[in-house]
Structure 1
């Protein structure tokens, strides 16, 4: 079975899917609908909070929206397992261009689905249209990765059923490093990474060992991965901008240093120039989300089998060795006709062993299991009980335990603000100017903070 870049994981798909997130969300913020007329019972004190169904044998039909592609096929195949537990619930599973269709559907309240697959970046902008899931999630919340709970939490309510955890990892060319006499286990901090890059460059003159992302969107997304390690992000839980900070200063200064010392390959993620640098063993360090494992499995030719992954370096000794980079969840619109039954579907997929095994384990779409992320639900993320198999294109590395270990180190997060993608026009662009040598880290922080506050936050 050919592995293709699954929804929101391949570069082009992820950029297209998430790049519209804030633009869509901005259009929805502050214009919430009437409380939905769906069949879900609600609390008398808060009519936006979904309650679990009480029927012993629930029956009905639910409409579930997912994007077309590999994940759609994975979820579709899991329906038969769901129906073994809930035979009375019919799942009408539809492949939909969610980015173009969801906004108008929620505004008009016509043919609203019961459940939708949604990027975490979008959840905060849609909350007026969604059920607050804090009550139904209560039995599971303590066992869900804190970062995933945090990004779905807005003003005390939880608006998404967390799906995947996308831990940042340091991918490295093990064969090339071995030839250069570099032991990757000695790379514990980002200073160590620079030292290793210098040593590799001495071994292979002309090499630029560390990946520096050249696209504005993915560059900003990677920046947020680094920030996540330090327990911060562009906005706090209160929605206020917090870019101009010691944490972002530290990250930008490091990136600037990598560029100025000639240690970085400036390239667009998995573009021909990027692939060329990877396959020529010029670019041997790639700090990125787990979904980079697509590259050795499908993109690389000369160095296939040479790549491995480890936890990211820490920003200081003893610091967190991973940060979140991307992610998705499931939301339940208030105007869905059978919201409670849709909750049962997602409850099964994410919190029932048969469900999460059907999603992440061996299936017709991914014979070796879905390996581009790990479950956000901790009982499913057991390092001793892998749901996907070692990856042959990575020398049969047990990526499962590596990713699980890294994921457990991700600090908590905050809701992704609706203006996040709009910030790419400022921060994403200024970051590239810094890497071009035309701005300093301080100038990036000062200018981007002013532009984001003035043009995005204050104008809302």
Structure 2
């Protein structure tokens, strides 16, 4: 769910060395035996723990980043061998968990997928406990099912308002004046008055991404598609406010409706038609790697708030690490994930300068709060953003993100209803009330009730 089509495509494993599982039940994978659900940490020290683990990750830039970070882990845990494998996780992991055959010791996975497979994963509650109060509340909440934590929280993907600084200056628009979404509409109108050919605000043409974006805007308001008990709450003032805003923006001709970073999108970003992109931090990939004519002209700011003084960011996507209940060496997978997510050395190995990102990984920030210090950046200012300190913008925005509820197992399937209806709203084919009524009815009937 957190991985955009371009630029964010992760993660690792653990092996049994010294010490036995301190869990209720029998060893994982034993024939005819109950599979233990709660994992305890190994009792061995870093210098004595030994074993081999298989870790699954997506291919692409993150695989290379984590591969280098795993090398640092192996220096800290010299007795652990890590088989780091590139896998089509979306196609393979769920079926592997269900079959229980050749499961990895640990895997990168989208937050949206974890809740639906909790019965096949280790309960990590006791292991996360020492770090829970120091982890972004959002990440704890989306990894929690029935009070138990099943994922090791990794990234935090704060929403930001990306904008063309040169166009705003020419139109006399101060980015600091855009404090609410109504202010954003006002700024877009001002820009359109200066350049009638512009359609300043990006709204995405991909149903999945548009629903992911919708949830970012809902998260800003402290809500989400379901509550903690799984009750649907789409029919609410918060979602009605978002849909009404979309209707107003499109009705006023302020929207470019384009598919995420495909040629039509890139062209209109480069030619000045698009000026504002309210999107996750991982959009930073675009000015760094895709935009040519406008490289160096884009900047990031906190998202507008829905009400004056409201939260200035929400989460759009995100990933964590899971340890299958039938993993052969789960304790060592935990040591790896603990190192990468909660230890300064491991976090620096992931986010600091590396061969893939010479200035550091800038497409997310860690979810571990002690390292989110605006004055102590993990990645460097970005030349493609005119030298802007994106770390400071992102970490300050992240501090305002509300907690959320666990993501329902059927979230991706609901795109057939809600994501598609958001597209119809943008196209002027449905009203806000129609989107709410039709989507809620079909999600309840076809997904919630059948769950």
TM band (smaller chain): over 0.9
Structure 1 CA distance, aligned partners of 2:99 and 2:271?
53
Query: Who is 1:292 aligned against?
Result: 283
Query: Who is 1:86 aligned against?
Result: 77
Q: Tell me the secondary structure at the aligned position of residue 370 of structure 2.
A: coil
Is residue 40 from structure 1 mapped to residue 21 from structure 2 by the alignment?
yes
Structure 2 CA distance, aligned partners of 1:445 and 1:195?
26
Q: Is the 8 A contact 1:170 1:285 kept in 2?
A: yes
Query: Who is 2:15 aligned against?
Result: none
Structure 1 CA distance, aligned partners of 2:40 and 2:414?
36
Q: Is the 8 A contact 1:39 1:338 kept in 2?
A: no
Structure 1 CA distance, aligned partners of 2:414 and 2:314?
20
Structure 2 CA distance, aligned partners of 1:381 and 1:172?
24
Q: Is the 8 A contact 2:40 2:127 kept in 1?
A: yes
Query: Who is 1:21 aligned against?
Result: none
Q: Please state how far the C-alpha of 1:82 moved relative to its aligned partner.
A: 1.0
Query: Who is 2:98 aligned against?
Result: 107
State the 4+ residue runs in structure 1 displaced beyond 3 angstroms. Answer: 7-10, 43-47
Q: Please state how far the C-alpha of 1:99 moved relative to its aligned partner.
A: 1.9
Task: Select the residue among 371, 375, 380 that pairs with 2:362.
Answer: 371
Query: Who is 1:55 aligned against?
Result: 44
Task: Select the residue among 11, 18, 25 that pairs with 2:5.
Answer: 11
**Mapping of 1:181-192 within 5 angstroms?**
181-192=172-183
Task: Select the residue among 143, 146, 159 that pairs with 2:150.
Answer: 159
Q: Please state how far the C-alpha of 1:106 moved relative to its aligned partner.
A: 1.8
Cα gap change, 1:76 to 1:121, in 2 (>3 Å):
same
Matched pairs, number: 433
Task: Select the residue among 307, 312, 325 that pairs with 1:334.
Answer: 325
Cα gap change, 1:322 to 1:352, in 2 (>3 Å):
same
Structure 1 CA distance, aligned partners of 2:155 and 2:101?
29
Task: Select the residue among 179, 182, 187 that pairs with 1:196.
Answer: 187
Q: Tell me the secondary structure at the aligned position of residue 299 of structure 2.
A: strand
Q: Tell me the secondary structure at the aligned position of residue 140 of structure 1.
A: helix
Using structure 1 for the length normalisation, give the TM-score: 0.91
Q: Is the 8 A contact 2:353 2:359 kept in 1?
A: yes
Q: Please state how far the C-alpha of 1:251 moved relative to its aligned partner.
A: 0.5
Using structure 2 for the length normalisation, give the TM-score: 0.93
Q: Please state how far the C-alpha of 1:100 moved relative to its aligned partner.
A: 2.1
Structure 2 CA distance, aligned partners of 1:322 and 1:288?
10
Q: Please state how far the C-alpha of 1:338 moved relative to its aligned partner.
A: 1.0
Structure 1 CA distance, aligned partners of 2:93 and 2:355?
29
Structure 2 CA distance, aligned partners of 1:112 and 1:13?
27
Structure 1 CA distance, aligned partners of 2:268 and 2:20?
55
Q: Please state how far the C-alpha of 1:94 moved relative to its aligned partner.
A: 1.2
Q: Please state how far the C-alpha of 1:289 moved relative to its aligned partner.
A: 0.3
Structure 2 CA distance, aligned partners of 1:376 and 1:422?
27
Is residue 358 from structure 1 mapped to residue 349 from structure 2 by the alignment?
yes
Q: Tell me the secondary structure at the aligned position of residue 340 of structure 2.
A: helix
Query: Who is 1:309 aligned against?
Result: 300
Structure 2 CA distance, aligned partners of 1:452 and 1:340?
38
Structure 2 CA distance, aligned partners of 1:118 and 1:132?
16
